[in-house]
Amino acid sequence: MPPPCDDKFYTFENFNIGNELEIYGKVFHLVNADTFTKNFLMKMGVRVGTPANVPADPHTQRYKTQY
């Protein structure tokens, strides 16, 4: 985990929908999960977040309009 929690590790609870993970300086926002992961989190007693839409990628949109 990033500082100041760099003495800890990510656990399954961190991989819930709606959470943000910072890995090697990049931040990932989890917008959805597969069925296995959702079931696993529920069996472990984690309240699974609500799926969200994937944000639009400006580069992909620009590429589609050019070609």
Summary count for the chain: helices (H), strands (E): 2, 2
- Residue 12 — very low, low, confident or very high, per pLDDT cuts 50/70/90? very high
- Can you give the pLDDT at residue 61? 83
Q: Kindly state whether residue 5 falls inside one of the protein's structural domains.
A: no
pTM of the model: 0.74
| Structural domain span for residue 53 | 12-66
Whichever domain contains 57, its CATH number is 2.30.29.170
* 17 assigned to some structural domain: yes
Q: Residue 25: what pLDDT?
A: 92
| Count of domains for the chain | 1
Residue 32: predicted pLDDT: 96
pLDDT in tens, 13-67: 999 999 999 999 999 999 999 999 999 999 999 999 999 999 888 888 888 887 7
Helix or strand run (H / E) with residue 37: helix 35-43
| 44 in a structural domain | yes
Indicate whether 18 belongs to any domain. yes
